[in-house]
Amino acid sequence: MIRINEHFQKLQTSYLFTEINQRIQAFTQHNPERELIRLGIGDVTQPLPDACVQAMHTAVDELAQGETFRGYGPEQGYDFLREAIAQHDFQARGAHIDADEIFVSDGAKCDTGNIQELFAQDVRVAVPDPVYPVYVDTNVMAGRTGESHDGRYPGLVYLECRADNGYLPALPSEPVDLIYLCFPNNPTGASITRAQLKVWVDYAINNQALILFDAAYEAFIQDEDIPHSIYEIEGAEKVAIEFRSFSKTAGFTGVRCAYTVVPKACTAYTAAGEAVAVRDLWMRRHTTKFNGVSYPVQRAAEAVYSPAGQAQVGELIAYYLNNAAYIRAAFQRMGLQCSGGDNSPYIWLQVDQDAWTFFDFLLNEAGVICTPGAGFGRCGEQHVRISAFNHFENVQQAMQRIEVALQQSPL
C-alpha cells in the first residue's frame, strides 16, 4: 500500500494566496462588472528593463545558430552571471563573497523552501511571526513540528514582531539551531540596522546556530545605515546563508531567476560534532535536484549589472517606492497606523478588526485586494499587507476608494 507523507496533513487547509484567490473568484462571479485593483501579492506590473530584454534577444539568437548554440549549462549558474553578482552585489559593498559561493536558481521561494533539507530533522527552528509562509510550511512538511494549535506549530520557536518592538524580533529565549530572518521584511516592511543585525550574527556565532537571511527586497533599501547583505557584518560568512532574487529588483517574477549565497566558511555539524561545509551539502543537493536556469534568462540577469541595466532597475525601484510612499501617506492621512513603505515595497497596516474581516471589507466595499496579515501568523492579526506593485494611477484610485469606503461604512 502506497502511503503519503502524513506531515502534509498538518498543514493548513489551503495556502494563504490560494484562499485569497478563492475569495476573489467568488466575489467576481457575483460582481462581474466590478473592476478590482490588486494590491495584494507582490507581483510586479512594469515591463522588464530594456537592457534585460535586449540581452535575452541576443541570447535567443545565439541559440538559433549552430556555432553559438548551448545545451545544458552548469547547474550552479554560468560564470558570467556568478562573477557579476559577486562583484556588484557583495565585493562592491566590502563583503568578501566569491563567485563559486553563489548558486543561481529559478526563485528565492524555491531556495528558502529547499534549504531546510540540509539539516537534521530534530534541529530547533526559529521563525519570525508574522512570517513568509514558506519558511513554516516546508519545515512542517519535513516533520519538524507537531499538529497546529491556535495558529502555531509545536516544535517551532516563534519570534514575535509587533508594533511595540518596531516589528523587529528579539533574540530567542530558548536554544535554537536554525533562524529565519527577512529584511527588508515581508510582510511588515520593517528594516534592520547594521548594529541590530550584528546582534543576530554574534548570537549565531556564540551558539553554533545558522541564520537563513532572506534579502529578496534589498534593492528597495534607501537608508545608508541599513545593510543590503548580512555579509556586511563581520563573521556572518561563518553562520549565514543569504537568498536574493531578481523578481522584485528587475521585474523577473515571470522570468524566474534568483540566487543563494553559501560561503565556504559556513559550517554545520554532524551528530558527533564534526564540522561540515554547508556549501558542499548545497552543491550536492543543487546539482542533484536542479538542472539550471536557462541561458537567455541568465544573460538577462547579467544585464542587470550593466550601466544601462543599473539605471533602468533604479527607475523601477523608484517607481514602486513612489507608490509605497503615496500609500503610506494616504493611510496616515486617514489616521491609520502603518509601517514599511520607505525601504520596502510593502505597507503593514494596523486595523481594528480581524485581518480577514478587513480583507473582505476592502474587497466588497472598495474593490481593492490586500493580503490579510493573519495568513502570516498569529501576530499578523489586525493587520493587512498592502503591496506597492501596481501602476501609480491604480494606486491613486485604490486609496481614493478605500478612503471613501471607510467614510461611508466605518467598521
Structural class in CATH, domain 52-306: alpha beta
Residue whose C-alpha cell reads 537563513 in the numeric block? 212
CA distance 214 to 220: 14
CA distance 252 to 324: 19
In this prediction the pTM is 0.96
Residue 269 pLDDT? 98
Strand order in the sheet with 125-129: 102-105, 258-261, 240-245, 210-214, 178-182, 125-129, 156-160
Whether 241 contacts 235, CB under 8 Å: no
Question: For residue range 90-131, what is the model confidence (pLDDT) as tens digits?
Answer: 999 999 999 999 999 999 999 999 999 999 999 999 999 999
CA distance 211 to 169: 14
CA distance 374 to 129: 10
Q: What is the 3-state secondary structure (H, E, C) of 101-144?
A: HEEEECCHHHHHHHHHHHCCCCCCEEEEECCCHHHHHHHHHCCC
Which stretches in the chain have pLDDT values below 70? 13-14, 410-411
Burial degree of 235 (CB within 10 A; 0-12, 13-18, 19+): middle
Question: For residue range 196-245, what is the model confidence (pLDDT) as tens digits?
Answer: 999 999 999 999 999 999 999 999 999 999 999 999 999 999 999 999 99
Q: What is the 3-state secondary structure (H, E, C) of 140-191?
A: HHCCCCCCCECCECCCEEEEECCHHHCCCCCCCCCCCCEEEEECCCCCCCCC
Sequence ranges of the chain with CATH classification 3.40.640.10: 52-306
Question: How is domain 6-47+308-408 classified at the architecture level of CATH?
Answer: Alpha-Beta Complex (3.90)
Residue 42 pLDDT? 87
Q: Give whole-number Cα distances, 64 to 12, 219, 294, in Å.
A: 46, 34, 14
Residue 18 pLDDT? 83
Residue 409 pLDDT? 79
Sequence ranges of the chain with CATH classification 3.90.1150.10: 6-47+308-408
**Amino acid of residue 250:** A
